[in-house]
Structure 1
Amino acid sequence: MRVVDRVCDILAAFAGVYLVGIMLGIVISALARTFNVSGSWTSHIFTFAEFGLLYIVMAASPWLVRHRGHVFIELLTAIIPAPYQAWFSRFVSLLCVIICAVLVWYTWGATVKAYNYGDAEMRSLDMPKYLLLGAMPIGFGLMGIQFLRFVFGPETFHTGQAGVHE
């Protein structure tokens, strides 16, 4: 799991850097427009921002799963009797593993299909579609591995306490 954790840390750092890059790109684009310096290069900023949103989500999500950073509601786990809370949390984590596996299967197929057909995303800058779709099987696969940690590991995903405890 240490290798997976390192990969997830690197991808989360990439997501953070990409997010800062998008912010700076938007500021630069706005300044260029304000000072009448815009050209065709400014439209590429928005293309990279659009593509980046998917990369950011897929890169940061496995890290968020590991740190229980995803949004979830503890109301149900809080009302379940204490002896069953861990079992229920592991069951929910197993469902998440299954959902991630299905999404890996589907997005991998879409990625391979896009590669085989040579599909491209046509924006201001053309990009092979498989490069865009390829982030999804990687992200969902790593999320599934992280959820497996809560199925078989010593800790559970849910705390069993309703409300904010931070």
Structure 2
Amino acid sequence: MRIIDRICDVLAVLAGIYLVAIMLGIVFSATVRTLGFSGSSHIFTFAEFGLLYIVMAASPWLAREKGHVFIELLTAAVPERVQPILSRCVSGLCVIVCLVLTWYTFLATEKAYRFGDAEMRSLDMPKFLLLGAMPICFGLMAIQFGRFTIGREILHSGKPGVHE
């Protein structure tokens, strides 16, 4: 599991770097246009594609760190002995959803690769490169939620409110 953790850490760092790069690109584009020059239309394509990469790359790390949004209302309302069971059931459902999404996004990525589909914007990009992050990251999220399903630690604390 250490290798999975390192992969998730690297993906989260790359997501952060990409987010900073998008911010710098937007600042550059706005500055250039303010000075009367024409900016690059590729910056917006870079930002648009980046939003998908950022979300997908950071999600496995967020799952591991319990950073995804979830509501403790139900786990707090059930008896204490039921809380771990309910939490593991929710985590198991998350695993199933992530595995289904892994499968379907893999099929979409493979189809885009096979047919040579491309995203036509100011910068043409093979569609499989855009979609390729999805099956990888959904698969990593399934592993992370699987830890809470069968591991020692559970996803939910059983206490309502914000826990940081």
Coarse TM-score class (shorter-chain normalised): over 0.9
CA distance in 2, matches of 1:38, 1:150: 51
Distance 2:133 2:105 in 1: 9
Pair 1:57 & 2:55 matched? yes
Report the Cα distance in structure 1 between the residues aligned to 2:162 and 2:107, rounded to whole angstroms: 40
Gap regions ≥5 residues in structure 1: none
Give the TM-score normalised by the residue count of structure 1. Answer: 0.97
Aligned residues: 164
What TM-score results when the alignment is normalised by the length of structure 2?
A: 0.98
Q: Does the residue aligned with 2:82 lie in a helix, a strand or coil?
A: helix
1:136 aligns with 2:143: no
1:156: which partner in 2?
Answer: 154
Runs of 4 or more consecutive aligned structure 1 residues displaced over 6 Å after TM superposition: none
1: CA distance, partners of 2:141 / 2:163 = 24
**Identity score, percent:** 71
Shift of 1:165: 2.9
Q: CA RMSD in A?
A: 0.7
- The letter of the residue matching 1:3 is I
- 1:56-86, CA deviations, whole angstroms, 9 ceiling, x for partnerless residues? 0000000000000001110000001000100
Deviations 1:21-44 (A, max 9, x none): 0000000000010011224xx100
Measure, in 2, the Cα distance between the counterparts of 1:7 and 1:99. Answer: 21
Which amino acid in structure 2 is aligned with residue 84 of structure 1? Answer: V
Q: Secondary structure at the match of 1:83?
A: coil
Q: Report what 2:7 is aligned to.
A: 7
